[in-house]
Structure 1
Amino acid sequence: MSIIDQDTAPFTVLVVDDTPENLDVLNGILSDAYKVKVAINGRIALKVAQKKPKPDIILLDVMMPEMDGYQVCKLLKANPLTSDIPVIFVTAKGEVSDETKGFELGAIDYIIKPVSPPIVRARVATHLSLHHQKRQLEKMVRQRTQVIKDTQREIISCLGRAAEFKDNETGMHVVRMSHYSRMLADKIGADSKWVELLFEAAPMHDIGKIGIADSVLLKPTTLNEPEWEEMQRHVEYGVKILGHYRSPLLDLAKEIAQCHHEKWDGSGYPNGLSGENIPLSARIVAIADVFDALTSERPYKQAWQTDKAFDYLRQESGCHFEPDLVDAFIGLEAEIEEIKRTFSD
């Protein structure tokens, strides 16, 4: 029996049964209200279920040759392309154990043969309505969540820029170094979600500078020992500013704020961490931060050329910076120059 389409129907129902008479009965019950597709075995059903537009619901016989309905349902639920399609078993197997097995595999309902047209129509309509409402709610949640994420990112970006403005910089520093950080993390094969989280958290690396007195932060000459000790406290202030609220983004931002002045050889601050005891996020941000500071113009210095900044990174490889990360960063020269052009002061 061929696949039957009713183009004017708002929802699509896939009916799977190896007996043509049963397909005719269900098609007759549903075709006035829905677009109906049919499949005469499990193999065809799996193919039809993946084709766009996908069915909105599947009525699935259990007792079929080669591949029974339980196997078909299991495969449907294991495939990300079809796992969200509701499945109703239509079967003569009405034992509690049969129903239990079906529900455990992910089915949402059972209709016992011989079918009653009012029951079929009512069950299909109910589950389609529920599924449609679920999808609409999920869409709304995604939209609201995205708004929250966008707002959170912008607040973090604003705070990062505020710290840079206080430090007599333009605010574009945090933009560039965040892009450098993401680019380097991606280059070394870090998890894509973590890479994006790093990009969002990096602007907060020096947020603690907000707590440093201007007389120290903006001093045009070399800091004395008490002033240098105060300057180093921006790490402590940054962690306090970011607070104790737990989220993946804020946790990573605090990690970076606390550790990005640590050095590979253990000579950094505040805790003298060394090597891989320094979190990867902080090791990446350290390179991105220093490179951008070197290649940016400041009231007290000219911007270095990229080659000169690369030479400095090489000199500090194994001392300030992780050698493998330095090599990876320098290998991204073309991408670095593009970022410099795109986000210039």
Structure 2
Amino acid sequence: MKHKTMDRPTILIVDDVPENLAVLTRMLQDRYAVRVATDGARALRLLHAGPVPDLVLLDVVMPKMDGYAVCRRIKQDARTRDIPVIFLTVLDDAVDEEMGLGMGAVDYIAKPVSPPIMLARIDAQLRLKAAADFLRDQNQFLEGEVVRRMAAAERQYDAIIGTMAGLLHARAFEGGRHVQRLQAGLQALADRLQLDPRYAPALSDEALRLMVKAVPLYDIGMVDVPDRILFKAEALTAQERDIVRLHAERGAALLQRIEQGLGGGTPLLQTAGAMAHGHQERWDGSGYPRGLAGEAIALGARLVALVDAYEALVSGRAYRLPVSHAQATATIADGRGTQFDPHVVDAFLDIGAEFQRIWQHLADVASPRAGGAIGGHGA
């Protein structure tokens, strides 16, 4: 059972410097119930003996047991492994950051800490965990309500998808219609492909409905990409690109964990997981993370890859100005048979004017704030 004070989430701060604990406590105590530990061993005792906190802020450089060792122990314990861990550290090397994230931490914040950034990122991780917890708990409740299960689950999935996708897209876009454009574009592209006998069997009305609903989650793995990379306005280094390239597998793994918490057999999350895992694959096999080629790539992933590329081109990014519809069309046509499924490209070329109308109709009032990795650095 979780510890709550006036229904506020509980944050455990682990730092061996009393002054740091005092500063962080003052920063957080108006929003959260705060517990503190001055070393790793005491933090683990608190986690095992008392109520489980909602999130752990963990210093890396500590005597006897460093933060990495503490995080490893947290993730090995079934009782605590789902607690989000955010590292706080003076270490700002990309290798240290990648090692921390690889151990299961959800974020990595360099000291000295900026209060607004830290509060926003804590809130994002708490919301994401609450969404996953809600789905798991709600599934247990629905076990005894077979008649209402499908309708209720549909509404809940919609709400959770909006919450989870909002965590990602709100980080990178000021405008609120990015996801709507992607969904409308995928729907239009699939409608055209339904006329092709090679694709019609895989694009039943139900399959297409799931694909459109799954679109907001295809890039959910980007929540793990640090802000310094996500918002970078110039080309990424090789190390930074390696960190970004982890997002496809991490997004798929996150969705799989949620599905397992629901007991499996969740078509919407399976569809979203296939999109997350496959949207950076290329038709010629030169993509990532698995180097799949051709029809080995899930159809939903092939569709969203093209739609996302069009979005990135015509909407622009911090490091790249937007291009015209004609230029975007030419770029996508150049990727026929290499980056993109050639028949999907042909369908896009057939309905290019419809794509242009969708993007004009759903244009954002504000231009993209950043989005280096989304549809750009991550491609």
What TM-score, normalized by structure 2, do the two folds share?
A: 0.51
1:258 Cα shift?
0.4
Amino acid across the alignment from 2:188: M
Distance 1:205 1:305, change over 3 A: same
Dislocated runs of 4+, deviation >6 Å: 140-144
How much identity, in percent, do the aligned residues show? 33
2:295 to 276, 288, 294: 276
1:170 Cα shift?
3.2
Paired position in structure 1 for 2:187: 182
1:164 to 145, 157, 169: 169
**Mean Cα deviation higher: 145-154 or 303-312:** 145-154
1:314 Cα shift?
0.7
SS at match of 2:280: coil
How many residue pairs match? The answer is 206
CA distance in 2, matches of 1:172, 1:179: 10
| 2:262 aligned with 1:249 | no
CA distance in 1, matches of 2:357, 2:207: 23
CA distance in 2, matches of 1:171, 1:237: 25
CA distance in 2, matches of 1:248, 1:285: 17
CA contact (8 A) 2:336 2:345 kept: yes
Distance 1:221 1:334, change over 3 A: closer
Paired position in structure 2 for 1:194: 207
Amino acid across the alignment from 1:230: I
CA contact (8 A) 2:256 2:270 kept: no
1:143 Cα shift?
7.0
1:195 Cα shift?
0.7
Paired position in structure 2 for 1:222: 235
Distance 1:225 1:169, change over 3 A: farther
CA contact (8 A) 1:173 1:293 kept: no
Higher Cα radius of gyration: 1
CA contact (8 A) 1:168 1:218 kept: no
1:218 Cα shift?
1.5
CA contact (8 A) 1:264 1:274 kept: yes
SS at match of 2:305: helix
CA contact (8 A) 2:329 2:352 kept: no
1:171 Cα shift?
4.2
1:61-92 C-alpha deviation (Å, 9 max, x unpaired):
xxxxxxxxxxxxxxxxxxxxxxxxxxxxxxxx
CA distance in 2, matches of 1:162, 1:309: 28
1:317 Cα shift?
0.7
2:217 to 188, 197, 204: 204
* Aligned counterparts, 1:17-36, within 5 A: none
Name which structure has the greater RCO, CA cutoff 8 Å, separation 6+: 2
RMSD: 2.0
CA distance in 1, matches of 2:281, 2:345: 15
CA distance in 2, matches of 1:332, 1:237: 33
Amino acid across the alignment from 1:155: I
1:160-207 C-alpha deviation (Å, 9 max, x unpaired):
232122234634222211221122112111211111110001111110
Distance 1:328 1:183, change over 3 A: same
CA distance in 2, matches of 1:215, 1:302: 20
CA contact (8 A) 1:161 1:171 kept: no
CA contact (8 A) 2:164 2:217 kept: yes
CA distance in 2, matches of 1:146, 1:210: 29
CA distance in 2, matches of 1:157, 1:331: 31
Paired position in structure 1 for 2:40: none
Paired position in structure 2 for 1:287: 306
2:343 to 306, 324, 333: 324
CA distance in 2, matches of 1:169, 1:268: 29
CA distance in 1, matches of 2:356, 2:147: 35
Amino acid across the alignment from 1:211: D
CA contact (8 A) 1:167 1:209 kept: no
CA distance in 1, matches of 2:312, 2:342: 19
CA distance in 2, matches of 1:142, 1:304: 50
What TM-score, normalized by structure 1, do the two folds share?
A: 0.56
1:230-267 C-alpha deviation (Å, 9 max, x unpaired):
01111122123213313000001000000000001111
Distance 1:313 1:220, change over 3 A: same
